[in-house]
Amino acid sequence: MSILENFLTYVKIDTQSDENVSVNPTTKKQFDLGNLLVKQLHELGVKNAFIDDTCYVYGFIPCNTESTKTIGLIAHMDTATELTGKNVKPQVIEDYDGKDIVLNKELNIILSPTEFPFLSKKLHHTLVTTDGTTLLGADDKAGVAIIMEVVKTLTTTTSPHPNVIITFTPDEEVGMGTNSFNFDYYQKRNCQMAYTLDGGDINTLSFENFNAASATITLKGKAIHPGSAKGKMVNSIHLAMEFHEMLPAYMVPATTENYEGFNHLNNIEGSVEETKLHYIIRNHDMNKFRKQIDLFNSITEFMNKKYGQGTVNADIKDSYYNMKEVVLKHPEIIEYAIKGLKRNNIEPFIEPIRGGTDGARLSFKGILTPNLGTGGENYHGKYEYVSVTDMEKMVKVVLDILKIITE
Q: Please, are residues 210 and 288 in contact by the beta-carbon 8 Å criterion?
A: no
Q: Please, are residues 294 and 300 in contact by the beta-carbon 8 Å criterion?
A: no
Residue 175: half-sphere exposure toward Cβ, Cα within 13 Å: 12
Task: Kindly name the residue from 14, 78, 140, 392 that is annotated as catalytic.
Answer: 78
- Respond yes or no: is residue 257 known to be catalytic: no
- Respond yes or no: is residue 184 known to be catalytic: no
Task: Kindly name the residue from 14, 131, 140, 172 that is annotated as catalytic.
Answer: 172
Q: What angle do CA 366, 368, 374 make, to 5 degrees?
A: 145
| CB atoms near residue 185 (< 10 Å) | 17
Q: What is the DSSP letter of 260?
A: -
H helix runs in 17-169, sequence order: 30-43, 138-156
Phi, psi at 263, each rounded to 5°: -115, 120
Query: Cis link prior to 171 (omega < 30° from 0)?
Result: no
Q: What angle do CA 256, 258, 262 make, to 5 degrees?
A: 40
| CB atoms near residue 132 (< 10 Å) | 20
Q: Please, are residues 46 and 151 in contact by the beta-carbon 8 Å criterion?
A: yes
Query: Whats the size of the chain, residue-wise?
Result: 407
| CB atoms near residue 390 (< 10 Å) | 27
Q: How far apart are CA 378 and CA 112, in angstroms?
A: 12
| CB atoms near residue 271 (< 10 Å) | 12
Q: How far apart are CA 21 and CA 67, in angstroms?
A: 42
The residues annotated as belonging to the active site are 78, 172
